[in-house]
Amino acid sequence: MALKQKILITDNISEAAFNILSEEFELEIRKGLETLELKNEISQCEAIIIKSSIKLSDDILNSAKKLKVIGKAGANVDNIDLKSATKKGIVIVHAPLSNTTSIAEFAITLLLALAKKLPMANYETKQGLWDKKKFEGIEVEGKTLGILGFGKVGQIVAKKATCLGMNVIAFDPYVSEDKYWQSQIRKANTIEQLYENADFISIHLPKTKETTNLLNKNEFYKMKKGTIIINVSRGGIIVEDDLYESIVEGQIAAAGIDVYEKEPCKNSKLFQLDNVICTPHISSSTFEAQEKADIIIANQIKKVLKNEMSSFTINLPIYNEEAFNLISPFIELCEDLGILFSQLFEGKVKELELTFSGKVAGYKTDFLLNVILAKILQKYSNEIINVVNAKIFADEMGLKIKEVKNLQSQDYINLITLKGKDDNNELSVSGTIIGIKNMPRFISIDKFEIDMVPSKYMAFIKYQDIPGQIGKIGTVFGKLGVNIAAMHVGRKVVSGEALMGLNLDCEVTQEMLEEFKKQSGFTKIKIIKL
């Protein structure tokens, strides 16, 4: 009986997530691990689930000899050394959509609390004061909310704000026109257009080079006087000292801040202001969000350990689930093409050209390139090479890679062609997918047209196209006890060289191969095992 793969869990996870994993895997729950304990535990497991209390540095990951996947039950992965994990071929999965509702609700909560001046009204009332006029608020109905960043969270905030009777305008140059149209939200063509219209601005941007310190004093003074700012996305997007000055000077009316330039934030000028609500990065801290994150991570870990593709992977060239769904029908074909090429090609490949033709050329194909590279490069290295680190190893080997895209495909809706060469050898293979199940098919091999369904065991034979050859091949394989399930022949000219592809029911050993060559006289034969 095969040993179950082991998963180390370093924090609390929900019962539902535990149940997803417990039937098929061995679970080891160890909280509060010190460095040496963590190194020891991680060396014995195939997967680890962490939250924010554990940091996986390069030093820790060097002990993770068996580790296949890291699961972070949350959206950000700041406590994981991405470069180190990627070089080691470790998949990193997270749960980016688990907290979208919680964060959106928190943004709306801050918006309403600031509009009604609730925090200070609550504080002074409990102090025995009763100054109703001091806490006169504003109605949000009819006001305009400007949303900076129109991703999943921004879209939910827009929907909830619309239900409150607010007008909504959003700015995000990376979101398609369709998203605005589907959400029935007005698009700001420039960030200045959003500033000019918004009474409230809610920030839902990732922290990047472009967005770091995006909102500074210069930007605050482009906004309408009296604008209310809300940030529940990432610290460092707002220059906090500039926000403080803009509020003191009366340009910005109030702010709700849940994230900070440095966290944990123990001291800030913003803490001094009555019209600023400050919370300790809790916008996603709800029972429901955490349970969703745990369940998402459990399912992603399960997929990776069962050699299936995960949907929320940080260190793979797939940016979202939608992009993955588009390319997923081609993954098996690319695996087959990569294995076929690696076993047919003589020598060590120096140059690769990958051509995508037809509909597939319109998709983001980086991941498919990595799938093919992983299967080819495994032939040349003792390291673990997979879709996570294949491109890194290709660069280190000096492999020249060219990717060609052609939206037109003459004979097939989709066609993928792989060409490779070194100083002395050249080989091309191509394939497509057919039917509602997206079944892979080899279309051509070494410039021979051959329509063939891949199988676990195959043989490819080059021979002179003269009468009696096919029968001879079948007879010798029969004597060796090898059953031929299907036979496919491609040739360029009559009586010239031909290529036969055979689907076989069993493996052909080296001894059987030598005997086949001896009895049949055919020496140009390659045995392939997918």
Which residues are catalytic, by number? 234, 263, 281
In single-letter form, the type of residue at position 28 comes to E
Q: How far apart are CA 88 and CA 502, in angstroms?
A: 37
DSSP letter string, 25-82: SEEEE--S--HHHHHHHHTT-SEEEE-SS--B-HHHHTT-SS--EEEESSS--TTB-H
Say which residues have a Cβ less than 8 Å from residue 234's Cβ, sequence separation at least 6. 205, 206, 207, 211, 259
Burial of 36 (0-12, 13-18, 19+ CB in 10 A): exposed
Nearest to 343 by CA among 370, 368, 380, 388: 380
Q: How far apart are CA 160 and CA 239, in angstroms?
A: 28
Say which residues have a Cβ less than 8 Å from residue 178's Cβ, sequence separation at least 6. none
Q: What's the DSSP call for residue 215?
A: B
Max CA separation in the chain (angstroms): 107
In single-letter form, the type of residue at position 119 comes to P
Burial of 44 (0-12, 13-18, 19+ CB in 10 A): middle
Say which residues have a Cβ less than 8 Å from residue 369's Cβ, sequence separation at least 6. 317, 354, 391, 401, 403
Nearest to 14 by CA among 293, 310, 285: 293
Cis peptide before 467 (omega within 30 of 0): no
Is the separation of the CB atoms in 316 and 391 below 8 Å?
Answer: no
- What is the SS3 assignment for 228? strand
Say which residues have a Cβ less than 8 Å from residue 409's Cβ, sequence separation at least 6. 357, 358, 415
* Strands across the sheet containing 144-148: 186-187, 167-171, 144-148, 200-203, 227-231, 252-257, 276-278
